[in-house]
Structure 1
């Protein structure tokens, strides 16, 4: 507890120190929401991972590792190649537009209706699904490790993340994320090592891994057969060739919570280096978040809930070091909470408040509104977290399934907005609404269809809907269409070499555990 408290105090101090302003300069909207567009590549890469790897990843994916096995790592490994595609083809468009938010891009490309509707949607999704799930799984982990009451855990996480992020905004979040990622990787590798060493009865992690492969070989099937009871969650080759791509493009390419870091870069080249760095960190993540779950299936197969797997493995860490590991877990949770609330504040302030309520709001008032919304969203999430998620066995799968209702439409809106100049605003709205309606129909009338397959099918149908409506409206090139001729898609040699490395590593991994 002493080690953990020291971490907490240090983090708050560092967050305040890195985000302080020069004498006479008052923090404006660009400072607060985009870190003054000053982030270097290493901060972007670390912050992308810190924002992504939270309780829903560590606790949730370890739980899925316990229940399903290494196949769940496809979410991590395919994200690595997705990041490369985002850096190469999507990010140059966003940075050329000079935007603050994803809804702002949608108005630049389509119209005001699309911006407002999607802003309201993202605010609801981030607050009611993402923020609540991070809080709930984090409080669950704290309860399992310390015995601390879940309600107190929820309040502690909310207050802690707000205290270190509310003053400095994106700069405080992104720069302290470097510390969070170092802690996360150290603590994660420590839990993995001790779990494997326990399996081997003290003969080392490699021996433990070898024994685990022999004892639960079914947990290392990367491509599940239809006869596998978990096929509905990870349906075979569809994971590599189907709807998983849509899920990844939506999360890594068109998600304010993630993309905001790249928008805060010094330059496009700096942002691309950061994304390549994040891609390599993603390749490491299954060692930290999936292997302990599989180890728990060997060491503690009697666990009542899969989401108890990671906290159970953390009990192997001795006191003192447990403080560092516990700090790493809370670091991941707090980082994601701080990032999420900052994104909620950015969207509400820039897309709702400044567009509908007060178009002439001063820079200072904009920052005050952003801080107030961040606090309010956290209060709402604390109140609804337990009633919403308390009875779910695998929270990670719940998050993926729920967001899968909307992601096909989101990806259609952006991809057609980028690359097809005839797409209309009405077509974009129909694709967004159609995504939810079609997904709900498939969910209720074809429940045996794996949700990843459903995402892929609904994506194709939404593309058809958008194309038909655009052509029916006259099939003309839209006035606000993106001019790709003026955007630089050429990447530096270092980025291209990094891309080749990611591809070769992924081929090796899937070849080993096909």
Structure 2
């Protein structure tokens, strides 16, 4: 099915709507000057529904829309643990992290590190996050989004990739550069509605193609019947082998997923990730922020229907007569030049082949919304960290409000230019969602340990935190590189253990916590650190709306895992 004139009209209309909203929100009255709080925290004016929508829009990008569909194709519903456990993680963040962050009036997460530990550690982490956002997050979202557009609009030969990278980056910059977080958050409300509606349309139409009789529920029942292993949430060793011959257990090691390393990935991402947590810091109040968190948690429960089920559908539609997916049964677009299966082609293939004219423009707009909203969030947070944690304290301590806003805008532009130059280099990554999780997982366990100890253990010292975060890297590399690196096949191999990366993350985090405890104990002889947080009784009290929402979400999660165990 080609891309019809009506599809272009819908797609252009989407772009015009988002740009209009972004520029309208960005306007300032005559004689007014935009302050740093206006630019970086939307003037602390966001209501709960805008916060919840913006959280999901920032989170759901090409990494999920394309990458998680690819993991659904390769592994199945088990990858949805990232989404469903995120709902529970959001509740924990809302109850136990947000009260501290908001009551301290933070602009950035590194600011918390400075208040709790030291300026040196804050600067180390600020530089790390800027590098991570530009060279990992921005580049991967740009590349994945561009390759998807190349497959859907073009011929899939890569001829549109660079044009798509430039177009997506310019579109994100067109409103986020000038308007800051306010423009990002308010356009996110439209973007998240569009990506959910478009995603559901794609899932519905794809399921309608699965059986000759058609129908959403018939299709759902059919794929559940023919590939029941793809609906197993707790994967056993050897239960699911991906099309490229990899044991899915290595990515999602059974019960260890929900009681182990996934908590490290989720707590780090949702609790201490600037481009996620920044919109909660922009709330009208703590109560409004917590309600926004609960709203986002509800939305997370339906995301697998949009980003995982399409991957399973693509798998079923590519099965041969014997019920297996092989190189012979696969559509040629799934096979790359090296002869391996490109799992991440699942969603673009579905859109190209099964979405009719008119609706294809809507689904493509949903994909673009996912990509652009995440890009806008990432560059805004990159500029916030650089301006507030690098520029203001080190380069221009007396910077005026207008100077900080100007530097923030320049940083947005520079970050996007670098990402545009690097993004084309990210070819042949396989399951990109898993790739990003695995390599971010080298540094996230140590950083999570530093934050958790800083929040909840008054004895944690600055030197202990520095030792912990620095030693966490060789610990993570010991688990990751040793068993399959230079030691493989040698007598040294016995010194290493081979673990799935989620378990590697858990053990790295626990060992880092141990290091922080030991160094703190030696340094302070068991006394509380002078910067330790004093959390009074009632500090973590939450309102009835949040509490009722939390109970409802936990009941739904229990039911989901009971059904698909």
TM-score (norm 2): 0.90
- Greater shift, 233-242 or 477-486, is seen at 477-486
Answer yes or no: is 1:470 the counterpart of 2:470: no
Task: Tell me if 1:479 matches 2:523.
Answer: no
Tell me how far apart the structure 1 counterparts of residues 534 and 24 of structure 2 sit (CA, whole Å): 41
Aligned to 2:29: 22
State the alpha-carbon separation in 2 of the partners of residues 473 and 407 from structure 1.
25
Give CA deviations for 1:326-362 in whole Å, capped at 9, x if unaligned.
Answer: 1111011000000000000000000000111110111
Deviates more, 1:480-489 or 1:313-322: 480-489
Output the CA distance in 2 between the equivalents of 1:150 and 1:201: 35
Larger deviation: 323-332 or 484-493?
484-493
CA contact (8 A) 2:294 2:550 kept: yes
The answer on 1:254 being equivalent to 2:272 is yes
Counterpart for residue 169 of structure 1: 180
Give how far 1:319 is off: 1.2
Q: 1:190 aligns with which of 198, 201, 224?
A: 201
> How far apart are the structure 2 equivalents of 1:21 and 1:483?
41
Task: Trace 1:366-405 onto structure 2 (pairs within 5 A).
Answer: 366-387=404-425, 389-405=426-442
Provide the rounded CA distance (Å) in 2 between the counterparts of 1:317 and 1:125: 35
Q: 2:555 aligns with which of 492, 499, 504?
A: 504
Aligned to 1:296: 314
The alignment partner of 2:536 has SS state of: helix
Match for residue 356 of structure 1? 394
Alignment of 1:342 onto 2:353 = no
Unaligned 5+ segments in structure 1 are none
State the alpha-carbon separation in 2 of the partners of residues 101 and 201 from structure 1: 54
Match of 2:127 among 120, 124, 128: 120
> Conserved in 1, the CA contact under 8 Å of 2:207 and 2:214?
no
Match of residue 370, structure 2, among 332, 357, 361: 332
Distance of 1:257 and 1:140 partners within structure 2: 24
Q: Is the 1:421–1:478 contact (alpha carbons within 8 Å) kept by the matching residues of 2?
A: yes
What SS does structure 2 have at the residue aligned with 1:488?
coil
Shift of 1:446: 3.0
Q: 1:494 — aligned with what? A: 545
Distance 2:298 2:84 in 1: 9
- Over the aligned positions, Cα root-mean-square deviation in angstroms equals 1.1
* Equivalent residue number for residue 145 of structure 1: 152
Give the SS at the match of 1:252.
Answer: helix
Paired residues of 2:93 and 2:271 also in contact (CA < 8 A): yes
The alpha-carbon deviation at position 488 of structure 1 amounts to: 2.8
Secondary structure of the corresponding residue to residue 98 of structure 1: coil
CA–CA distance in structure 1, aligned partners of residues 455 and 24 of structure 2? 39
Contact 1:93 1:487 in 2 (8 A): no
Trace 1:37-186 onto structure 2 (pairs within 5 A).
37-147=44-154, 149-186=160-197
**In the alignment, does 2:368 pair up with 1:318?**
no
How many residues are paired up?
513
SS at match of 1:359: coil
Residue of structure 2 equivalent to 1:418: 455
> Is structure 2 residue 442 aligned with structure 1 residue 442?
no
Matched, 1:236 2:254: yes
Give 3-state SS (helix, strand or coil) of 2:253's partner: coil
Q: C-alpha separation between the residues in 1 aligned to 2:87 and 2:283? A: 20
- Out of 400, 403, 409, which is 1:365 matched to? 403
Please give the per-residue CA displacement for 1:357-405, whole angstroms capped at 9, x wherever unaligned. Answer: 1101111110010011111111111111121x21211111110001100
Match of 2:217 among 203, 206, 212: 206
Q: State yes or no: 1:266 paired with 2:304.
A: no
**Corresponding residue of 1:220:** 231
Answer whether contact 1:47 1:178 (CA < 8 A) is retained: yes
Counterpart of 2:179 in 1: which secondary structure?
coil
Shift of 1:427: 1.0
Which protein is bigger by CA-based radius of gyration?
Answer: 2
Are 1:7 and 2:14 matched, yes or no? Answer: yes
Deviates more, 1:110-119 or 1:310-319: 310-319
1:298 shift after superposition: 0.8
In structure 2, C-alpha distance between the alignment counterparts of 1:299 and 1:127, rounded to whole Å:
37
- Say if 2:466 is the partner of 1:429: yes
Please give the TM-score of this superposition, normalised by the length of structure 1: 0.98
SS class of match (2:279) = helix
* CA positional deviation for 1:202: 4.5
For the 8 Å contact 1:92–1:487, the answer to whether it is kept is no
SS of the residue corresponding to residue 483 of structure 1 reads coil
C-alpha deviation, 1:486, in angstroms:
7.5
